[in-house]
Structure 1
Amino acid sequence: MKIAVFASGNGTNFEVIAEAIQKKRIEAELKLLICDQPKAYVLKRAESKAIPATILQSKQYPTKKAFETVLLEHLDRNEIDLIVLAGYMRIIGQTLLEKYADRIINIHPSLLPAFPGISGIKDAFAAGVSETGVTVHLVDQGVDTGPILSQQKVMVESDETLESLEEKIHKIEHSMYPSVIQAYIEKLQKEQVNS
């Protein structure tokens, strides 16, 4: 199973995935990092692990379809089977969704359907909820609306700060994401055998 990770920022989840693959906790090959931010730290992480990285910015293309068509060319060239989003801050469009139906996984820092969108941790904290968490889900045409693969709760303590909550959420993400990716790969492989 060949994987491409899409990321926009610091890349801690990218690093966790890369290490899980190295340690054979995820049985896959990490072929490619796609990044939409030329100054993102995730690019340094990819370089240090000798994982090829491609910077593609949608603003360089006239339409989303044109942008995603170029993305698809990179994915096809690397024979990618599964796309894993790890802090990728763009909404996936129809062109990618059609080609990779049920083959794009995302991690989101809340218990979906609560607090979708770009600031899930901050929104949960501001709402004063007693629990939030992490969701891994398949990507569909909505924003954080695809079928849920796994969720884990995180309690919000009375003395919680936004920073301490972020730290707890990231810790859960890092332990949870590799095992959910591996379970989904096993599911896809089983389906291939049975089809």
Structure 2
Amino acid sequence: MVRVAVFASGNGGNFESLVRTSREWDNPPCRIELLIVDKKNAFAIKRAENLGIPCYVVSLKECADKKEYEEKIIKILEDNNIELVALAGYMKIISEVLLNAYRNKIINIHPAYLPNFPGKDGIGDAFRAGASETGVTIHYVDEGVDSGEIIYQEKLIIDKSWDIEKLEEEIHKIEHRIYPMVLKQLCEKIEEERN
């Protein structure tokens, strides 16, 4: 069973979707062991409490620098034997400290069809650009911003009548469906390679 940690900064909708969906699988290949958040007021913390998932708040402001911050995170991951990290609305750029410890073991979900609209507001950027389509991308995390190897993508045609709230809602529907599916496939692959 692959031990997974989820990182979030805000609402935690994708985190909850991953936990709830993974609990419904027959013979689950992984288990979400913990949540790490970087903001003390993140709603994701409440979701973790409701789901009975241990939650760690690690604040960059309380660390000397990014290196110390990520070393604290690595310690939590190692203490819990975490093998795979799933970013779910985690708004920090991951530096080489954490990347080197978990190379090709950190995945991210991005609310746009990469390489279009990378960065922190993929939905808003697509909406403001008047794009006719966007989508959702799940990719490995590397040194760049939303530039890692793509694992899975799904397109969404944008209806001209949609406001930004409707576009967000449609993107979240796709995210909540595909992120658990891709996580399951990745963990099954890790399990196979182990055996």
TM-score of the pair, normalised by structure 1: 0.96
Q: Give distance in 1, aligned partners of 2:193 and 2:142.
A: 20
User: What is the distance in 2 between the residues matched to 1:27 and 1:89?
Assistant: 27
CA distance in 1, matches of 2:136, 2:129: 16
Match of 1:3 in 2: 4
Question: Are 1:37 and 2:39 counterparts?
Answer: yes
What displacement does 1:157 show?
Answer: 1.1
Structure 2: gaps (5+ residues): none
Residue ranges of structure 1 left out of the alignment (5+ in a row): none
**Aligned-CA RMSD value:** 1.0
Is residue 2:23 matched to residue 1:22? yes
Deviation at 1:188, TM superposition (A): 2.1
Where in structure 2 are the equivalents of 1:180-195 lying within 5 Å?
180-193=182-195
Amino acid at match of 1:15: E
154, 159, 162: which one aligns with 2:164:
162
Question: Within 5 A, what are the aligned runs for 1:71-150?
Answer: 71-150=73-152
| Sequence identity (%) | 47
Q: How many residue pairs get matched?
A: 193
Quote the Cα distance in structure 2 between the aligned partners of 1:124 and 1:54: 33
Give the SS at the match of 1:168.
helix
**CA drift at 1:35:** 0.4
Q: TM-score under structure 2 normalisation?
A: 0.96
For 1:49 and 1:126, locate their aligned partners in 2 and report how far apart those are by CA, in whole Å. 36
2:55 to 50, 53, 56: 53
Correspondence for 1:67 among 66, 69, 80 = 69
- Contact residue 29 and residue 191 of structure 2 kept, 8 A: no
Query: Structure 1: which 4+ aligned runs deviate by more than 4 Å?
Result: none
User: 1:62 Cα shift?
Assistant: 1.2
Q: What is the CA-CA distance between 1:192 and the residue it aligns to?
A: 2.9
